[in-house]
Chains A and B, each alone.
Chain A
Amino acid sequence: MTDYNISVAHLYGNLMNTYGDYGNIIALTYYAKQIGVSVNYQLVSLGDHFDNENFDFVLFGGGQDYEETIVAKDLKNKAQQIKQYIENDGPLLAVCGGFQLLGHYMVMANGQKVDGIGVMDHYTTNMHDQKLTVLNDKRLTGNIVIKNNDTDETYHGFENHQGRTFLGAGERALGTVVSGNGNNGMDKTEGVIYRNVYGSYFHGPIFTRNGNLAKRVLATALSRKYPEIDWTDKLNQIETETF
């Protein structure tokens, strides 16, 4: 038994789970365990109620196009609670499709436009969008390295997406592209940071390959729940996995 615990919601984990996204929870749990914190995992899927006050961390992963259209419909029912969670500074990691659906809309490869819930200000067009100036009609696939401008941390991952995301007002990139393509191949941004929300196209998954980011988000989640303890200091004392 541990004295401290956090509750994790995995949004649509049985539908949006295509590229090892659950690995982010494995990594978070791995670090949490070493500092005496247990993680309660809960799947929140189609038809389930998402109560923003019940969770300390939320993962919203990527999925296949077909599942993503199904999820987009259900997500509308959870939009208000998700917005509250985000505005209350709840930590959230959104990958690929999850990242896209938190924005205004996304356009699939076949041109189908899918509504996001617009709780964040970005939007996503597809690889055939006329306004693209580079890599038209191509998926953005390959290894990627970015630098977080706030912290100077470097993150490594693998990207594989056709969608092109453009950030909106009040959003800044998770990092600047050092090598690879990022959100749209054009503006050198990768991912998003908004309050305590981190969005990214990184597979890897991002927390497994970039222990520095995993620890940062874990510290945020724990400090929000147990503010009296210096979690960053505790996490600094354990080994960080990076590859």
Chain B
Amino acid sequence: MTLKSTIARATAKSAYWFLHTILHRGGTSLPGKLAVSIDPNILTTIQKDFDLVIVTGTNGKTLTTALITRVLEAGGYTVITNPSGSNMVQGITGTLVTTKIKPSPNGKKPIAVLEVDEANVETIAAAIKPKMFVLTNLFRDQLDRYGEIYTTYDKIIAGINHAPEAVVLANGDSPIFLRGDFPNKRKYFGFNHIQAADYQPEVAPINTDGILSPTDDSVLTYDFITYANLGKYFSATDDFARPKLQYQVTHVDTLTPRYSTFNIDGTPLRIEIGGLYNIYNALTAFAVGREFNVTPEQIKTAFESNAQIFGRQEAIKVEDKDVTIVLIKNPVGTNSVIDMMKTEKDDFSLLTLLNANYADGIDTSWIWDAEFEKLHDTNMKAVATGGERYQDLRVRLKMAGFPDQAVYEDLKQIVTAIKAFPTRKVYIAATYTAMLQLREQLGAAGYIKGGF
């Protein structure tokens, strides 16, 4: 380690200490910025201390990264990871330079598992040669801020090209990941839970993107679709088809809003969170764990002994109401949440909150690509709308066939809104800044501790 990098690291650590201990503020961006300003090559210098796994894609990065961390720890590795939200260059640098890396209990090299924003993959990969790229999925996402999905994938490929030795472990159910010209070894995970006799070949519904064959740009047919553009696909015009999967979900037993049970490569597993999409996150973590020789038993233990990490979908109590809060930010995520609500056996009410600040995406047109009409297939008994853009949601739900809605223009009325619902179970689906405001209200009313 050079003197410059030692100073850079020391400065970042004291800045981190000052922020966290004296000011009680989170965040790793400022320490990262300081370290880079003192030694621009700081990332390259520290990379010998660990192997890097980059996790990227549109949805599920945070939970997948958390799960991979627990799985690798269960396998005896020391793991460094970045906190949720710190997935851009500054934050990642901050995380890496301020963490004291202990030797792995299993004697192997420690692993850094980093959730990396799609547009930042290249910068990180150029500075630190990753051992593995993990690609979760690509959906359209807040197009006022991000590019189109093929452009996004090109950015990821630019990063992959910096590390030809790295394994690319990709979601094989996503046809876009079969594109791209790079020499890396590719491995795939996916779903194979439906018997061939039960295949019902179909093209994806209209509001699905990324459904063109990499060979001739024809529209792909699916033997089955798990959700959005994910499933077992083939081309009707040539012999292109989903590749062989190295890791697969072979059986889905139970889907409930609170937990799912399923089977990956012969291992029965349970995760304490609802939604088929979260089984993908577990599958991804399973695949990474197996790649690093973590045993299926250790992975199972990792999932079962860390129930609290499934925290993003949050359950709280407001008087006699059981409230579940979920984040919505794009059509695929919202459809997945609605699919999860279809597995709710009890009557419930739904409060939807829409804001259009920068962090939410300032274009609200995506709500028309989400299939709120499917709420008719659930046990939903009442629906209400709110948030700064309540008007958009009110009309969206009205045109989806829900004319009777309570409308809350002011988020200060949220507690009132929850109490007014006719059912004991309440779901709140909110965009990012609406969720922050909601948490503040619930915190002020004493229903959640702290806040953040």
With contacts A158-B363, A158-B364 taken as known, whether A18 is within 8 angstroms of B219 at the C-beta atoms is no
With contacts A20-B368, A208-B395 taken as known, whether A46 is within 8 angstroms of B219 at the C-beta atoms is yes
**Residues A10-29 near B (CB distance < 8 A):** 10, 13-15, 17-23, 26-27
Contact partner, B369, options A15, A22, A27, Cβ 8 Å: A22
Whether A208 lies near B209 (C-beta < 8 A) is no
Cα A14 to Cα B207 with chains together (Å): 6
CB of A231 within 8 Å of the partner chain: no
Segment of A62-70, A111-119, A220-228 engaged in the interface with chain B = A62-70
Contact partner, A20, options B205, B209, B365, Cβ 8 Å: B365
Cα A64 to Cα B368 with chains together (Å): 17
Q: How far is the CB of A118 from chain B (nearest CB, A)?
A: 23
CB of A204 within 8 Å of the partner chain: yes
CB of B250 within 8 Å of the partner chain: no
Q: Closest residue to B203 on the A side, CB-wise?
A: A14
Contact partner, B396, options A19, A43, A208, Cβ 8 Å: A208
Whether A204 lies near B219 (C-beta < 8 A) is no
Cα A23 to Cα B427 with chains together (Å): 25
Q: Contacts of A27 on B, CB cut-off 8 Å?
A: 399
Whether A17 lies near B219 (C-beta < 8 A) is no
Classify chain B's interface size: 35 or more
Q: Contacts of B149 on A, CB cut-off 8 Å?
A: 64
Cα A70 to Cα B159 with chains together (Å): 26
With contacts A18-B143, A26-B368, A204-B365 taken as known, whether A64 is within 8 angstroms of B150 at the C-beta atoms is yes
CB of B256 within 8 Å of the partner chain: no
CB of B181 within 8 Å of the partner chain: no
CB of B307 within 8 Å of the partner chain: no
Whether B204 lies near A241 (C-beta < 8 A) is no
Number of A residues with CB within 8 Å of any CB on chain B: 33
With contacts A14-B211, A30-B399 taken as known, whether A22 is within 8 angstroms of B148 at the C-beta atoms is no
Q: Contacts of B148 on A, CB cut-off 8 Å?
A: 18, 64-66
Q: Closest residue to B204 on the A side, CB-wise?
A: A14
Q: Which of B203, B363, B364, B394 has the most CB of A within 10 A?
A: B363
Q: Contacts of A65 on B, CB cut-off 8 Å?
A: 148, 150-151
Contact partner, B206, options A17, A142, A204, Cβ 8 Å: A17
Q: Contacts of A205 on B, CB cut-off 8 Å?
A: 365, 368
**Residues B120-147 near A (CB distance < 8 A):** 140, 143-144
Q: How far is the CB of B150 from chain A (nearest CB, A)?
A: 4
Q: How far is the CB of B355 from chain A (nearest CB, A)?
A: 14
CB of A45 within 8 Å of the partner chain: yes
Q: Which of A22, A66, A204 has the most CB of B within 10 A?
A: A66
Whether B206 lies near A23 (C-beta < 8 A) is no
Whether B365 lies near A158 (C-beta < 8 A) is yes
Whether A17 lies near B150 (C-beta < 8 A) is no
Whether B143 lies near A243 (C-beta < 8 A) is no
Q: Contacts of B320 on A, CB cut-off 8 Å?
A: none
Cα A14 to Cα B392 with chains together (Å): 24
As a 0/1 sequence over residues 60 to 84 of chain A, the CB contacts with chain B under 8 angstroms (1 = contact) are 0000111100100000000000000
With contacts A14-B204, A14-B219 taken as known, whether A160 is within 8 angstroms of B144 at the C-beta atoms is yes
Whether A17 lies near B217 (C-beta < 8 A) is no
Whether A22 lies near B206 (C-beta < 8 A) is yes
Whether A243 lies near B209 (C-beta < 8 A) is no
Q: Contacts of B246 on A, CB cut-off 8 Å?
A: none
Whether A26 lies near B399 (C-beta < 8 A) is yes
CB of A215 within 8 Å of the partner chain: no
Q: Contacts of A70 on B, CB cut-off 8 Å?
A: 212, 217
Q: Contacts of B158 on A, CB cut-off 8 Å?
A: none
CB of A141 within 8 Å of the partner chain: yes
CB of A203 within 8 Å of the partner chain: yes
Q: How far is the CB of A151 from chain B (nearest CB, A)?
A: 21
Whether A18 lies near B140 (C-beta < 8 A) is yes
Q: Closest residue to A66 on the B side, CB-wise?
A: B150
Contact partner, B368, options A10, A141, A208, A243, Cβ 8 Å: A208
Q: How far is the CB of B409 from chain A (nearest CB, A)?
A: 12
Q: How far is the CB of A10 from chain B (nearest CB, A)?
A: 7
Cα A241 to Cα B149 with chains together (Å): 33
Q: How far is the CB of B392 from chain A (nearest CB, A)?
A: 7
Contact partner, B143, options A10, A13, A19, A66, Cβ 8 Å: A19
CB of B391 within 8 Å of the partner chain: yes
CB of B324 within 8 Å of the partner chain: no
Whether B365 lies near A243 (C-beta < 8 A) is no
Q: Contacts of A209 on B, CB cut-off 8 Å?
A: 392, 395
**Residues A136-165 near B (CB distance < 8 A):** 141-142, 158, 160
Q: How far is the CB of A38 from chain B (nearest CB, A)?
A: 15
Cα A15 to Cα B212 with chains together (Å): 9
Whether B368 lies near A23 (C-beta < 8 A) is yes
Q: Contacts of B140 on A, CB cut-off 8 Å?
A: 18, 64
Contact partner, B392, options A15, A26, A43, A243, Cβ 8 Å: A243
CB of B277 within 8 Å of the partner chain: no
Q: Contacts of B245 on A, CB cut-off 8 Å?
A: none
Cα A161 to Cα B295 with chains together (Å): 50
CB of B305 within 8 Å of the partner chain: no
Contact partner, B365, options A30, A64, A203, Cβ 8 Å: A203
Contact partner, B363, options A10, A19, A23, Cβ 8 Å: A19
Q: How far is the CB of A159 from chain B (nearest CB, A)?
A: 9
Q: Contacts of A13 on B, CB cut-off 8 Å?
A: 206
Cα A46 to Cα B391 with chains together (Å): 36
Whether B209 lies near A18 (C-beta < 8 A) is yes
Whether A20 lies near B369 (C-beta < 8 A) is yes
Q: How far is the CB of A140 from chain B (nearest CB, A)?
A: 11
As a 0/1 sequence over residues 173 to 205 of chain A, the CB contacts with chain B under 8 angstroms (1 = contact) are 000000000000000000000000000000111
What 9 A-B pairs are tightest by C-beta distance, nearest first?
Answer: A23-B368, A20-B368, A20-B365, A64-B148, A243-B391, A203-B365, A13-B206, A66-B150, A30-B399
- 14 inter-chain pairs at a CB distance below 8 angstroms, sorted by A residue, are A13-B206, A17-B369, A18-B143, A20-B369, A22-B207, A22-B369, A23-B368, A26-B399, A27-B399, A30-B398, A64-B140, A203-B363, A209-B395, A243-B391
The interface of chain B, by Cβ under 8 A from chain A, is 140, 143-144, 148-151, 203-209, 211-212, 217-219, 362-369, 391-392, 394-396, 398-400
Given A17-B206, A21-B368, A241-B395, output 14 extra A-B contacts at Cβ < 8 Å: A14-B203, A14-B204, A14-B205, A15-B212, A30-B398, A64-B149, A66-B212, A141-B144, A141-B363, A158-B364, A158-B365, A204-B365, A208-B396, A243-B394
